[in-house]
Structure 1
């Protein structure tokens, strides 16, 4: 009986150590730039890679405080004073290179907890509002010039007050030169 119990205890201890070590190992992300200047991320270290902390500067939390409003007929519902909204840009990812000759791409935004009725989402491209604020968290950007850009998403009230804002997201838009060169 002892011989059957001992191997099962060893197996149990081995499996428990794998379960405990697995999540810790998976939390380490490495970042490096290749010889072409492209940024890479991996869970395995390579030469010249640095440990990347994805939790740093990826969220912006804002506490909103308003008085209690009991009038349900008001045009603009007000957020609960104790809720801190988190606005995040889901895509494109940080330092993503978007390739589109027309300069078109999409951006997806997430808000937690769910935004109160009557609030809107405003996308800010390079420090300027892009289009109109909207209720949909999906934005289709059109005819954006090539180069480096910054995106910020804001949760705003209908009066335009910013309730919460995402951190800035840096992206690169690549457009291949499709115009033929004219020789004199």
Structure 2
């Protein structure tokens, strides 16, 4: 029933869109508009309603944008590790190191970033500029980042930074109670 009411309202609304408009002025000088003709009224010719027809889509196969770019255009002007800074000392008992990458221009479609940890790729390339390194062992480590395309080709590489991880010593001796020397 509700659908029928909506349908009837739509039909009535569409019908009123094609009504004729009349204009007249009363004895006091007030201008009136109506869809019913009155004595002394004049019919107003309205311009055709605006319509938009989208241009036809070109379905011809064009080469992908990636093939049109030269190798120089594929690289990135800025690719660097913003955090942590070079030679940073990190104190974290779980060995957690957040890595934030700065890249310009923005990462292009299909391109990803790969973290290099001590010169080796760490995990899979990702389309994000924030990474989390977990369980980093004590000592000094190097970190860099590479921009790679969807085929794994390296587009740009950042400068390598060095970090120093400080974690509590493994196998720490528990604190002993002081001896009672009051005897």
Verify same fold: TM over 0.5.
yes
Deviations 1:84-105 (A, max 9, x none): 4121100000100111111111
Give the aligned partner of residue 121 of structure 1.
Answer: 113
Secondary structure at 1:180 match in 2? coil
State the distance in 2 between where 1:147 and 1:78 align: 44
**TM-score normalized with structure 1 length:** 0.55
State the distance in 1 between where 2:125 and 2:148 align: 8
Work out which of the two has the higher radius of gyration on C-alpha atoms and give 1 or 2. 2
Q: Is the 8 A contact 1:79 1:116 kept in 2?
A: no
Deviating runs (4+, > 4 A) in structure 1? none
State the distance in 2 between where 1:139 and 1:121 align: 10
Give the superposed CA RMSD: 2.5
Deviations 1:59-92 (A, max 9, x none): xxxxxxxxxxx434x9xx4583243412110000
Unmatched segments (≥5 aa) in structure 2: 1-61, 175-183
Q: Is the 8 A contact 1:78 1:116 kept in 2?
A: no
Change (3 A) 1:114 1:170: same
State the distance in 1 between where 2:132 and 2:148 align: 19
Q: Does 1:141 align with 2:130?
A: no
**TM-score normalized with structure 2 length:** 0.55
Work out the number of aligned pairs and report it.
112
Give the aligned partner of residue 176 of structure 1.
Answer: 168
Q: What is the Cα deviation at residue 158 of structure 1?
A: 1.2
Change (3 A) 1:78 1:87: farther
Give the aligned partner of residue 69 of structure 2.
Answer: 80
Q: What is the Cα deviation at residue 163 of structure 1?
A: 0.2
Unmatched segments (≥5 aa) in structure 1: 1-69
Q: What is the Cα deviation at residue 109 of structure 1?
A: 0.5
State the distance in 2 between where 1:173 and 1:80 align: 41
State the distance in 2 between where 1:141 and 1:115 align: 21
Q: Is the 8 A contact 1:88 1:167 kept in 2?
A: yes
